Amino acid sequence: MRKTLVLIGASGDRIAILDIEPQTLKIVCTAELSSFIVFIAPSDQGAQTEALQQLQKDSETIRSHYAYYFDLSLVNNGVDETLKKLQEALEQACSSPQWVPVSWVY
């Protein structure tokens, strides 16, 4: 599962979760959207089929080119574990101060 998820805070208690192409990260990383970028890499455990090896290679390429956009990187070693970590990170992001570029403030 090589996906880039963007969690965008909306009014109230709603959050939009988007699955976007890495090339669009620059568009969603704005002060207006207050995005929280999560990169979920494929599992690095278990038997490696050719397709999984290619997925990991593609994942590393994305990470090397776009990692500076990511607020969080997770490895999907199990859906339940990954979702739990994602939920914890989102709760922390919503309840504590976050670093933002100075251009977003002034």
**pLDDT at residue number 2:** 47
**Is 105 among the domain residues?**
no
**72-75 and 15-20 strand pairing:** unpaired
**Is 23 among the domain residues?**
yes
In the predicted structure, residue 101 carries a pLDDT above the cut 80: no
Q: How many domains does the chain have?
A: 1
**Is 61 among the domain residues?**
yes
In the predicted structure, residue 11 carries a pLDDT above the cut 90: no
**pLDDT at residue number 98:** 72
**Is 80 among the domain residues?**
yes
Domain membership of residue 20 as a residue range: 5-100
3-state SS record for the chain: CCEEEEEEECCCCCEEEEEECHHHHHHHCCCCCCEEEEEEECCCCCCCCHHHHHHHHHHHHHHHHHHHHCCEEEECCCHHHHHHHHHHHHHHHHHCCCCCCHHHHC
- Confidence bin at 67 (pLDDT 50/70/90): very high
**Is 67 among the domain residues?**
yes
0.85 cut: is pTM over it?
Answer: no
- Confidence bin at 106 (pLDDT 50/70/90): low
- The 10s digit of each residue's pLDDT in 14-65 is 677 878 888 888 888 877 777 888 999 988 776 678 888 888 899 999 999 9
